[in-house]
Chain A
Amino acid sequence: MGSLLQVVFDALALGSLYALAALGIALIFGVMRLVNFAHGDVIAFCVFALLWPSTDAVAVVFAGNLPWFLLIPLVLAVGAALSVLSELVVFRRFRRANPATMMIASFALGFVIRYFLLMLYSSRPKSISLLPALSQPIEIFGARIPLLQLITILVTIAVLFGLTAFLRRTRFGLEMRAAAENFTMARMLGVRANRVIMGAFALSGALAGAIALILGSQTGTANITMGANVMLMAFIATVIGGMGSLAGAVIAGFLLGSIATVMQVILPPDARAFRDAFVYGAVILVLIFRPQGLLSARGAKERV
């Protein structure tokens, strides 16, 4: 019973992480058809923003010493600011470019961010202790669950409810959903394109900040490539969720997290090393049977 519960929590926590990241990618894809490869580097940037630039192995914590009620808004704001800045400086000039060009531009931007961090902090992973109170385990029905896992799951649920309320109840949210569904039509009806896109980037950046906090306190290290793996999984989740469908991205994020965790448990020990191969095989299978994604966004089908 206890170990089963442990697996459930592991799956939910990993899934939450993927779901949050997938949301960040799907938000931007929805409004401007951009697959943002810089997202992972924004995540890493948010973690490093807490450290004082140095190349030592032990991080000089700078802003990370703030109390949590200041620390969390700060990290979210850093993510949002960097994300909005990247839209103002780079992506605004790519409005008419085709998706492949935008994708490579976002990748180049991520490259710039990564090596900027490398220049300031060196490529060595650094140990940090971020919100150390969260790493103690608590006991629920005989399973020892790290408090952080529980909080990750709760935060994700809160973010999902908050985002749903925002998208359904506010004018800005309505504009954003309209833009995601049919961008040209929304503009003709008076939605300000640049404002909506900027809003999407700000939200996506703040989500990156949230992931940075979770990852930073989970692993206890800051590494300039720490966002890459999460971003790739999120990217996959966005696609199998149905590009542009926010609900689909979240569901697929949880699905991927669960598949990865469950496979770790049920695969025979010999095959366990090949877990990722099985996960990616499952991804290909999903795509073959539902190429438009689990929940395809309305209006996503190309008309002839």
Chain B
Amino acid sequence: MRQSPALRSLSTPILLSLLLVCFALAAVFAGSRPFNQTIIDIFLQVIFVVGLYTFVGNSGVISFGHIAFACLGGYVAAWTTIKPMLKGGAMPGLPDWLMQTEIPYWASALVAALWAALWAGIFGSVLMRLSGIAASIATFAMLAMVNSIYSNWESVTSATSSVVGIPIVRVIWPYLIAAIIAVFVAWAYSISRHGLALRAARDEPTAAAASGIDIPRARLIAFVLSGGIMGAGGALYAHSIGIVTPDTFYLGLTFTTLSMLVVGGMSTLSGAVLGVLILSTLIQVLRWLEAGVQIGTSTFALPGGVQEIALGAVMIVILMFRPTGIMGNKELNLPMAGSEKAGRQGPEPQTTNKE
């Protein structure tokens, strides 16, 4: 009796979720507010990077554009949750029904996911015909377009000035739950027939096309799904700090999330999650060092700017020794009884013939 690949790989998202729960518990026990905020930031990054992985990891096409969907989502949160009386001042151009809307934060995240997924579908139906570097540049052009529109459309986004008054959610649990949901959605997609088809197209495009896989369509499904995850992440991001500006969701965040994905290992879900956890932990440690650490009677502190330089250097060194990222092609997994190839389990292209 063999287990189905779905069941065999189920341990991956469970292990990753447990890891996230550990981080959340650490925040609860530490009980300090800045640390709580740090952990919330980490969960948001997990959502973004897992959303990015859903498309980039499965399709092999590097996307510079996904943060645009986070931007769309962030502004949905602003449009739907700010108190109606505040909204009129900052964004007078909103339609009346939207002006009167005030919904809870979780509903705004859902609406943001749908709205971002809708736009991912519209952009994707044009862009997904491209492959390789042309596709990467086209997604970047999409990001720049969205950024340019949102930084200039005064009446509905109040241009480059920040939109304030978004209800802030300071508890850690909603973010934890959202991150876990994102992990499970990404996992479920990657073992679904669409995910398997897309990975086959990533590894052997010609053979996959010859076996009847419609590559642009397979990519589009992943694009829409990952756009939705990014949208929800963007809305939650807005709720975590209470303000949005178009430049929050631009090149900085794009490169942070991409780096975390590539350093972790872009072709696996474990790589995406561990990339965030490892790099975020590293950033946090460097920040503490920069702020100064008491060793005995003397205070040891790094000069300003060293944090970023060290981060860049560590990333280069990691990639030098592990060019496919920390996780390579392996998923975090329990060695389960009944599977004969212990090192080769998880959602890998080999399982395609199960379809």
Contacts and interface: CB of A to CB of B under 8 A. Distances in A.
Given A101-B323, A105-B319, A304-B206, A291 B144 contact: no
B140 A236 contact: yes
Interface stretch (A7-15, A179-187, A278-286): A278-286
B96 to A, nearest CB: 23
B148 A112 contact: no
Interface residues of A, number: 45
A201 to B, nearest CB: 16
B311 interface: yes
B177 interface: no
A239 B137 contact: yes
A108 B316 CA distance: 6
Contacts of A99: 133
Given A119-B303, A284-B126, A277 B315 contact: no
B245 to A, nearest CB: 16
A94 B141 contact: no
A111 B311 contact: yes
Contact of A280 (B148, B255, B311, B325): B148
Given A100-B262, A101-B319, A115-B312, A276 B133 contact: no
Contacts of B311: 108, 111
B315 A108 contact: yes
B168 interface: no
A104 B141 contact: no
Interface in A267-300: 273-277, 280-281, 283-284, 287-288, 291-293
B258 interface: yes
B344 interface: no
B324 interface: yes
Contact of B133 (A116, A232, A243, A275): A243
A94 B316 CA distance: 10
A228 B308 CA distance: 17
A98 B133 CA distance: 13
A115 B308 CA distance: 6
Contacts of B319: 94, 97, 101, 104-105, 108
Interface string B121-148: 0000011011101100110111011001
Contacts of B323: 94, 96-98, 101
B149 interface: yes
Contacts of B262: 100-101, 104
A119 B309 contact: yes
A284 B127 contact: yes
Contacts of A88: none
Interface in B54-101: 62
Interface in B142-198: 142, 144-145, 148-149, 152
A73 B319 CA distance: 35
A303 to B, nearest CB: 10
Interface in A74-120: 90, 93-94, 96-101, 103-105, 107-109, 111-112, 114-116, 118-119
A35 interface: yes
Interface residues on B, range: 35 or more
B304 A104 contact: no
A235 interface: yes
B337 interface: no
B346 to A, nearest CB: 20
Nearest to B56: A100
A118 to B, nearest CB: 5
B305 interface: yes
B134 A291 contact: yes
B266 interface: yes
Interface string B108-122: 000000000000000
Given A97-B323, A284-B126, A108 B312 contact: yes
Given A236-B141, A239-B137, A105 B305 contact: no
B309 A112 contact: yes
A288 B128 CA distance: 10
B62 A103 contact: yes
Nearest to A276: B148
Centre residue among A104, A277, A281, A291 by max chain B CB count within 10 A: A104
Contact of A112 (B130, B259, B312, B320): B312
A105 B322 CA distance: 12
Interface in A247-281: 273-277, 280-281
A40 to B, nearest CB: 11
Interface string B199-221: 00000001000000000000000
B4 to A, nearest CB: 31
A210 to B, nearest CB: 24
B313 interface: yes
Contacts of B315: 104-105, 108
Given A98-B323, A119-B303, A104 B263 contact: yes
Contacts of A104: 258-259, 262-263, 315, 319
A248 to B, nearest CB: 13
A291 B130 contact: yes
A235 B126 contact: no
A288 B255 CA distance: 25
A292 B137 CA distance: 12
Nearest 9 pairs between A and B by C-beta?
Answer: A119-B305, A97-B323, A112-B312, A115-B308, A273-B152, A276-B148, A280-B141, A111-B312, A108-B315
Given A99-B133, A115-B305, A232-B140, 17 more contacts: A35-B133, A90-B316, A94-B320, A97-B323, A100-B262, A104-B262, A105-B315, A105-B320, A107-B255, A111-B308, A112-B309, A236-B140, A239-B133, A277-B152, A280-B142, A284-B145, A291-B130
13 contacts: A94-B319, A97-B319, A97-B323, A100-B62, A101-B262, A108-B313, A118-B305, A119-B303, A119-B306, A274-B148, A287-B130, A288-B126, A291-B131
